[in-house]
Structure 1
């Protein structure tokens, strides 16, 4: 891309961003830009002398290794990898970063970011910073928590030595306000959370790690103070006040109670706690659905809310009952999504990032983890399909009992999801908004999409996210309409994208009718206006779970150029026979038949690249070909019939 094209792209993005702002936000951002240099100078100001007092600890070392699901081995193995210079990022990927990493070097691309004032760093420029997600993930310091856990479990001083070396290196390479690690308030807040947990695991101000290294402890405390002040001066506001703001408030609050060494920081924590309580009501619907319409982000924000609750309880300032009720509602939604077999769809953005990793084993499932954490907090049971993890053990909570229980509800009207379950089937339909606030940053153009699992095995899927900073065509595809089980009209998305994390026009979905005539029997009628009020897309879904049958009818007011997509999970063996797709996996067979009121082209596609179509992303940064059934032509009515049967019956 030429420099002139890049400049045009930046101006186009800026114009789109301005379109998503209110006049008040424009003034706010202009004022923030005008004071950026002053905030930069404040970062380097001397830090007041701390009063080293021991604060209540909400992180606890399990008194017996038997309380850990797999014993101490995973912790010591993970620490061993860190001693060899290998770190795990995004839950599953390992990178060789060295025993003393270059904290400015992107682990994915090898690009080293410049050490200049943070406000002058373009985090979207891969030539300058590499892939910023990977660089930020390394600098969240989840791995330091693992070293702290290993020290707490085996007492090997080598863990302390490695922590000291990495801490000293990080502080040296990241002077206040300089470099890519000061470009995001959320990232600074997540560091504070992981620093807090590490500090507690190491024994606080008087831990063995500081014997003879008091100057390093002092330098770390200065960084804590500066981080908290930086975050509080630049909270994410207005159309950016999404999960970032929750994470930022949690970071400041946790820091203020872990290190109540400065009255200024304690006051910042007081304010952060009150605003965090208010944000729960804004960012989590009363029915537990995350307002961002991104299911993995539910687990992300829950971790912040849960950690803040634990910190508050330890400091004798418990969160109000309304706050706890929202956490229970989030767990109820996760439980309904998981159903009897644990199949959870990948709706909305998912970047694989973690705020805190207390269990080092791979295989993390954010919504399942959410369910276990809330159950331990609220003394409730977890379903049998849930794979237990150790997070709760490190916060002093007992493992919840295991028991079957029916979902409290399958109708989530505030969040916009209608679920169904019965027999061997489980699934849902999206009748909710695009996302949260003006930019709906993490929402996908997926209105009226349907997903379906057969005895916990995904059949009709939401293909996921892939990556935020890959080539734009891939980002656009995975969040676009053609990547979802819904109707695409006029060759474009239901909502208009203005950038990788921005939608300038939002499709509005509306539930018209919902009828439940018995267990597993459901009829839903809904519509959305993403293509204008003169071209409403209406979908009617009828489900009979016991019979293993779904019928869908899609209509538009007039014939229109359209593409109807049905995305299947990888692993299904597919064959197109006339107007019917035959899909087999294990003992299950599915038949998908598509009919329209006008001739069209029916095709089975997989792994197409120009343009992208027929892909699924099971983890951040990963994609693989997956089958998609596409009808394409001009029509006004489409009928899809889906029949599921067991070949062993």
Structure 2
């Protein structure tokens, strides 16, 4: 059972983690039959509302229309997530027991009533990607329904909430089924139920509140007994701690709340780095972590036990980072993994999610923001920023997280550039990082032009999962068609490149950084210097330590709405027939690949589960210590020629 996964993980485990895993396995064996079922969790206090949330939502009218629309979609039996739509259900049978086990990507179902730790959810063959079934079991679709009840007192929505909770309770006793197989799912489901109680709990029936109380007590027990630790102590641990903290507050367990609050504060300081960058090297996962911390901080403040000031400061730094890398449309580069995880949700696509969280942070801190809050349930639960300030521009380096940013006007164009010189990811397995060292992301006139390929899929991704994480898929240079870091499973790496910022200047902007991903295999270090020039930008790639030239590939992934046209050693890039920029490469050994196979690229995943064909510009040639130079011209006079 899961032997291959454990062998791959074992290579990155410390002796302490090995011992932890053995103890955890013993606890799982002991819980079989002993902790299953509702009986031991049925007695206890009913949960109370988390203070202040409902009042703030009711006082934020901009968040009401999208909430009403989302609630109506749920009432109509519709649910979509991760790029798929669930089969529409009739109102009379919205929550059949089998729905909680459904894998909509295949139409198959996960086993009913199985002991949760016997379910090998990493093996997708014949069933589907476990993420889809888990997404529905998070019960986040109850949030817009509860908010609509808060607005109108609607008995129809209230009835659907009670039917959903009754159905889930009957089909998912503790420790049985996929809903109990992972701590992050247990934690997020508990948060959804607490938001329901906070928004409309006074209207729920006594039996429903009793069932919610039992689910919360079973969840707190599970989360305390099986914490994510060591190499797993990333956003999963934050979700578990946030669930435990909010449960303790709602059940008036002051001692537990005080203890877990310390743990939440610790994880904020670990998972958001001192310069505000998320330690997992993905803005969306950092926003996910920050949203959990922010909700806990708001609840703590309203309860009269505020978080340490250092935590608020760290959240503020995260918001600052997001505003620096975001575009005018509110989106951020698709750096690292993005599984569209949310804490407060309308169960609708939310491409500006990190910015939405950053705006909520500024509101919580009583500060201004460079953009208005998107009209979502999340921003209806937090105070609005005090005012709108100027859009972020200039030069900024995030030395710990590893990003250098240039934003402003150049050659009459509005330009945003982000150079990645950060670590692969967080902790020993760097689960959600991509092999994208020295990758360049570029926007011109507010629209993405050089982009990350995205995520596409997790467990069900197969060879595509490896491709979208590889160096070959990113805007960087590879040696001998080899990735800088080597994947060992869907969330693990056998070799991890280490990066370094070698030097930078602000005026003119010039950044030099390097990584050692090819040192062991080829005896060289890839160094990249990116600088602003009179016509645009220049990129110098060289191989430090090379004794002879090596075969290399430069990749530039275009946004899906752009097309490239080769003319000698130049690629003219256009959008809708209008020129956007020119890419001048070292020689004319250029290919453009669009929609190839899982070892060729030519795809961009704008949403989980989706991939769209997009031009991937590939230059092949020899590189040595002298290096090769690529010029990006966005001077309108040169672009149009």
Q: Fold-level match, TM-score > 0.5? A: yes
The separation in 2 between residues aligned to 1:339 and 1:209, in whole angstroms, is 42
Per-residue deviation, 1:11: 4.4
Q: Does 1:124 align with 2:122?
A: yes
| Aligned equivalent of 1:522, options 492, 509, 512 | 509
Cross-structure match for 1:624: 612
Cross-structure match for 1:228: 220
Question: After the TM superposition, which of the residue ranges 100-109 and 159-168 deviates more from structure 2?
Answer: 100-109
Cross-structure match for 2:402: 416
**Which whole-Å deviations, capped at 9, do the CAs of 1:518-543 have from their partners, x for residues lacking one?**
xxx31111111101252111111112
Inter-CA distance 564–97: structure 2 relative to 1 (3 Å threshold): farther
Inter-CA distance 84–631: structure 2 relative to 1 (3 Å threshold): same
Q: Does 1:165 align with 2:189?
A: no
Inter-CA distance 373–509: structure 2 relative to 1 (3 Å threshold): same
**Which whole-Å deviations, capped at 9, do the CAs of 1:411-433 have from their partners, x for residues lacking one?**
10011111111211111111111
Cross-structure match for 1:322: 310
| Aligned equivalent of 2:25, options 33, 39, 43 | 33
Judge conservation of contact 2:456–2:465 (CA < 8 Å) in 1: yes
Q: Does 1:540 align with 2:533?
A: no
Per-residue deviation, 1:152: 1.3
Q: Does 1:87 align with 2:84?
A: no
Q: Which runs of 5+ in 1 are unaligned?
A: 1-6
SS at match of 2:438: coil
Judge conservation of contact 1:334–1:371 (CA < 8 Å) in 2: yes
The separation in 2 between residues aligned to 1:530 and 1:160, in whole angstroms, is 55
- 1:264-279 equivalences under 5 Å are 266-279=254-267
Question: After the TM superposition, which of the residue ranges 428-437 and 33-42 deviates more from structure 2?
Answer: 33-42
| Aligned equivalent of 1:246, options 238, 245, 264 | 238
| Aligned equivalent of 1:402, options 383, 388, 404 | 388
The separation in 1 between residues aligned to 2:36 and 2:302, in whole angstroms, is 30
The separation in 1 between residues aligned to 2:529 and 2:81, in whole angstroms, is 42
Cross-structure match for 2:35: 42
Judge conservation of contact 1:549–1:642 (CA < 8 Å) in 2: yes
Inter-CA distance 408–118: structure 2 relative to 1 (3 Å threshold): farther
| Aligned equivalent of 1:142, options 135, 140, 143 | 140
The separation in 2 between residues aligned to 1:341 and 1:156, in whole angstroms, is 35
Per-residue deviation, 1:208: 2.4
Judge conservation of contact 1:383–1:402 (CA < 8 Å) in 2: yes
Q: Does 1:58 align with 2:55?
A: no
Per-residue deviation, 1:611: 2.3
Per-residue deviation, 1:579: 0.8
The separation in 1 between residues aligned to 2:635 and 2:85, in whole angstroms, is 37
Per-residue deviation, 1:573: 2.6
Inter-CA distance 71–588: structure 2 relative to 1 (3 Å threshold): farther
The separation in 1 between residues aligned to 2:514 and 2:63, in whole angstroms, is 48
Question: After the TM superposition, which of the residue ranges 40-49 and 434-443 deviates more from structure 2?
Answer: 40-49
Cross-structure match for 1:175: 173
Judge conservation of contact 1:91–1:353 (CA < 8 Å) in 2: no
Q: Does 1:209 align with 2:217?
A: no
| Aligned equivalent of 1:68, options 55, 61, 69 | 61
Judge conservation of contact 2:513–2:527 (CA < 8 Å) in 1: yes
Judge conservation of contact 2:76–2:89 (CA < 8 Å) in 1: no
**Which whole-Å deviations, capped at 9, do the CAs of 1:356-387 have from their partners, x for residues lacking one?**
21x56544412211221012112222224x56
Q: Does 1:591 align with 2:585?
A: no
The separation in 1 between residues aligned to 2:250 and 2:227, in whole angstroms, is 20
Inter-CA distance 638–108: structure 2 relative to 1 (3 Å threshold): same
Inter-CA distance 245–160: structure 2 relative to 1 (3 Å threshold): same
Inter-CA distance 160–340: structure 2 relative to 1 (3 Å threshold): closer
Cross-structure match for 1:466: 456
| Aligned equivalent of 1:475, options 451, 460, 465 | 465
Q: Does 1:388 align with 2:374?
A: yes
Inter-CA distance 24–165: structure 2 relative to 1 (3 Å threshold): same
The separation in 2 between residues aligned to 1:462 and 1:154, in whole angstroms, is 43
Judge conservation of contact 1:92–1:362 (CA < 8 Å) in 2: no
- 1:550-589 equivalences under 5 Å are 550-556=537-543, 557=546, 558-585=548-575, 588-589=579-580
SS at match of 1:42: coil
The separation in 1 between residues aligned to 2:142 and 2:535, in whole angstroms, is 49
Q: CA RMSD in A?
A: 2.3
The separation in 1 between residues aligned to 2:614 and 2:397, in whole angstroms, is 30
The separation in 2 between residues aligned to 1:615 and 1:396, in whole angstroms, is 37
The separation in 2 between residues aligned to 1:336 and 1:539, in whole angstroms, is 22
Per-residue deviation, 1:70: 6.1
Cross-structure match for 1:368: 355
The separation in 2 between residues aligned to 1:309 and 1:43, in whole angstroms, is 33
SS at match of 2:356: helix
| Aligned equivalent of 1:281, options 250, 254, 269 | 269
Inter-CA distance 303–92: structure 2 relative to 1 (3 Å threshold): farther
SS at match of 1:590: strand
Question: After the TM superposition, which of the residue ranges 586-595 and 369-378 deviates more from structure 2?
Answer: 586-595
Q: Which runs of 5+ in 2 are unaligned?
A: none
SS at match of 2:610: coil
Cross-structure match for 1:4: none
Per-residue deviation, 1:394: 3.5
TM value normalised by structure 1: 0.91
The separation in 2 between residues aligned to 1:549 and 1:231, in whole angstroms, is 52
Q: Does 1:185 align with 2:174?
A: no
Judge conservation of contact 2:360–2:385 (CA < 8 Å) in 1: no
SS at match of 2:580: strand
Judge conservation of contact 2:511–2:531 (CA < 8 Å) in 1: yes
**Which whole-Å deviations, capped at 9, do the CAs of 1:226-252 have from their partners, x for residues lacking one?**
011101111110011011111110111
Question: After the TM superposition, which of the residue ranges 138-147 and 632-641 deviates more from structure 2?
Answer: 632-641
Per-residue deviation, 1:509: 0.7
Inter-CA distance 405–611: structure 2 relative to 1 (3 Å threshold): closer
SS at match of 2:13: coil
The separation in 2 between residues aligned to 1:376 and 1:294, in whole angstroms, is 23
TM value normalised by structure 2: 0.92
